[in-house]
Amino acid sequence: MLKRPLIIDCDPGIDDAECLMMVQGSGQFDIRGITAVHGNVPLDFTSKNALFLSKMYEMDCPVYKGAEKAFIQRLPRAEYVHGNNGLIGFEYELPEDAQFAEGHAWDFIWEEAVKQNGELEILAIGPLTNLAIAVMKHPELPKLVKNLVIMGGAAGNGNFGVYSEYNIAQDPHACEIVLQAGFPNFTMVDLNACHMVHLTREECEPLRNLPQTNRFAALCKRMLEFEDKNKEKLAEIGDGFLVSEDHYTCDPVAAAVLIDPEIAQYVEKYVFCDCAGEMTEGQTVIDWLGFAPFKNVKIPVAMDREKFKEIYFRCVKSYDREEC
């Protein structure tokens, strides 16, 4: 099978770690590189986590550092969800051969798009600063990207503001640049879509009992333990987080849409990002009534939970290794 060339732009983040697990575990992609961006925690942590995860999942690809901060916004990070290091305190040591690639994330995105001659796909699951810089430097970039899938935005209520979703709120100006850049095949997996799928507590039991020979096991168990302990704290915060006994996660939903687009039903709409509203800054404003003269984004409006579960567990299974 000819694998699909892909760049993953991310801010690991525990759900980013799940997402990378799925993308690599699907076996569909030639992962050309990972580009790290500020987001869930500062870039020093997100980049190091991306490098670690690339080694843990045996991704044979370079890891580039990207933007340390948003264009204008300076907002709090999400340590209360992802822990101080972004991977909920999961301790690891980088192997000696783990080194960042030289150069900037945005330059690599452009160079790889040119190299892949219109076949490159991009999965962006953090703030869109790296991608926005690439677009500003190279306005012709969208024409060379076959498929762009982002996890970001909200069709309704937000989780980091009244209407703003976390990734977009961290850099709304970058989001607006990307939305208006003219990507021909652009899917926005928003917060509503992410809340349409989950794994029940009972379905998570096999994850709690993964054998040590599965490369995802230790991090997965830590994730579920942390999630159980943190639910009460998130309920007290009460700022848009979906608190449940079940396992809800966002970035893996974008991975599932990338892996199998038929997991969802979509509508095509015009979307822009509010960069100035007192209560609505970071809101992805969707033209539901069709007043705009064109449409720039596909939005999932229905998700197949059973298919998501099937994809998730199939990817987890791919990391099984025999006892030595």
Please report, for residues 76, 159, 160, 271, the alpha-carbon distance to residue 163 in angstroms, rounded to integers and kept in the order given: 17, 7, 8, 14
Residue 80: predicted pLDDT: 81
Distance separating alpha carbons of residues 244 and 204, to the nearest angstrom: 13
Q: Measure the CA dihedral 13/19/21/22, to 10°.
A: 170
pLDDT tens-place values along the chain, 324 residues long: 799 999 999 999 999 999 999 999 999 999 999 999 999 999 999 999 999 999 999 999 999 999 999 999 888 888 888 888 999 989 999 988 899 999 999 999 999 999 999 999 999 999 999 999 999 999 999 999 999 999 999 999 999 989 999 999 999 999 999 999 999 999 999 999 999 999 999 999 999 999 999 999 999 999 999 888 876 665 555 444 456 778 999 999 999 999 999 999 999 999 999 999 988 999 999 999 999 999 999 999 999 999 999 999 999 999 998 543
Return the pLDDT at 234.
59
Q: Structure tokens of 107?
A: 């330059």
Give CA–CA dist 105/107, Å, rounded. 6
Which of these CATH numbers, 2.60.40.1220, 3.40.50.12780, 3.90.245.10, 3.90.1280.20, describes 4-317? 3.90.245.10
pLDDT, residue 193, reads 97
Which residues lie below 8 Å from residue 141, measured CB to CB, with a gap of 6+? 109, 110, 113, 134, 135, 181
pTM: 0.95
Q: Where are the domains of the chain?
A: 4-317
In the three-class reduction of DSSP (H, G, I as helix; E, B as strand; rest coil), residue 127 is classed as: coil
- Among 249, 38, 246, smallest CA distance to 130 is for 38
Hey, what are 241's tokens?
A: 């987080």
